Amino acid sequence: MHHANHYYGHSHVLARYCGLDDTDPPRLHGYLQHGWNIGDGMAPDHEYVPGVPKFVWSERVRRRAWSLGRREVYVVGSPWAYLLAMEPEPEPADAPPRRGTLFYPFHGWEGQHIIGNHEGLIEEIRATEEGPVTVCLYWQEYRDKRVRATYERAGFRVICHGYRGGWWKDLDPGFLYRQLAEQRRHSRVASNRLCSAIMYGTLAGCEPAVYGDPMQLEREKSAFGGQGRIVREWADLHGPVLDVSVARRIATAELGADRLLPPAELRRVLGWPSLRHDPDFELTGVLTR
């Protein structure tokens, strides 16, 4: 099982949906897309064994993968969309009203650090957002005391959803659950680049926004057209105020929320074992957990 299949607890969420042990998900027989992707769904820095199945979130990504010569590509929908199917929005009487904005600054990763002006981004956030602001940093920036303190001095609440895991270590099955809980506390979700978090928040009921200095990664390469293509192709998702209905339609397609498989079929596609009990569990057992 490729270690990236565990990122953000993705395999754990899918195991729960399939009625399997989500504390120890079985081996996933293939490569699972682990983030919103403008290419073929797979991370360009990973090596892949030819002929091994690739599980992508959306039909759009499958078509791109096919055009690039990828075969054995299957649309299964995103783990985030499955999580929302299992964790429906609470009734208004059971949840406090949403307030403020959850902002995700563009972040680096273990192999590349971010280059940008955080103070300048803070000024843009202040000029745009009317309510309280929570800034969610990636673990790398969160541990950088200088970056974290910059946002804290601005008066923002600063959080981190956790560590995504890597090489089968430091796995965090609760990552997406914490992210969903935070997004449902806020009325808006925003970032200085279009990213997975914006798609997630839009599907989770937030009003999305993308604005501000997009910053850069060290040695950033414009794979599949890069930031320029993102701005052109997803123009409807850029700006401080967006058409929410359009944004949600796009997020639904990009996250494959309209392509979710029944538990039994998802188990078969992923190469996971079948269950020997009442078939009604296929839907009711996981959705009422």
Q: What is the pLDDT of residues 262-284, one digit of tens each?
A: 999 999 999 998 765 534 444 43
Mean pLDDT of all residues belonging to the chain: 88
Domains: count for the chain: 2
User: How far is residue 124's CA from residue 250's CA, in Å, rounded to a whole number?
Assistant: 25
Contact 132, 100 (CB under 8 A): yes
Q: Which of 84, 88, 91, 35 is nearest to 258 (CA)?
A: 84
Q: Are residues 246 and 262 in the same domain?
A: no
Q: Are residues 237 and 260 in the same domain?
A: no
Q: Are residues 42 and 104 in the same domain?
A: no
Q: Are residues 280 and 266 in the same domain?
A: yes
User: How far is residue 75's CA from residue 176's CA, in Å, rounded to a whole number?
Assistant: 20
Size of the chain, expressed as the number of residues it contains? 289
70 has pLDDT over 60: yes
Q: Are residues 232 and 183 in the same domain?
A: yes
Among the listed ranges 59-73, 90-104, 159-173, which one has the minimum average pLDDT value? 159-173
Q: Are residues 105 and 246 in the same domain?
A: yes
Burial class of residue 76 (count of CB atoms within 10 Å of its CB; 0-12, 13-18, 19+): buried
User: How far is residue 48's CA from residue 105's CA, in Å, rounded to a whole number?
Assistant: 30
Per-residue model confidence as pLDDT tens digits over 212-233: 998 876 666 666 678 889 999 9
> Side by side, which strands form the sheet with 73-75?
31-32, 54-56, 73-75
Q: What token pair was written down for 203?
A: 């599907």
Q: Are residues 131 and 168 in the same domain?
A: yes
Contact 183, 189 (CB under 8 A): yes
Q: Which of 75, 72, 29, 76 is nearest to 51 (CA)?
A: 72
Q: Are residues 55 and 137 in the same domain?
A: no
Q: Are residues 250 and 261 in the same domain?
A: no
Q: What's the number of CA atoms in the CB half-sphere (13 Å) around residue 158?
A: 21
> What per-residue confidence (pLDDT) applies to 288?
31
CATH code of the domain in which 141 resides: 3.40.50
- What is the residue whose two structure tokens read 């955080």? 118
User: How far is residue 283's CA from residue 251's CA, in Å, rounded to a whole number?
Assistant: 24
Q: Are residues 11 and 47 in the same domain?
A: yes
Q: Are residues 68 and 184 in the same domain?
A: no
> What per-residue confidence (pLDDT) applies to 163?
84
Q: Are residues 55 and 104 in the same domain?
A: no
- The domain in which residue 98 lies consists of 92-254
47 has pLDDT over 50: yes
Q: What is the pTM of this model?
A: 0.90
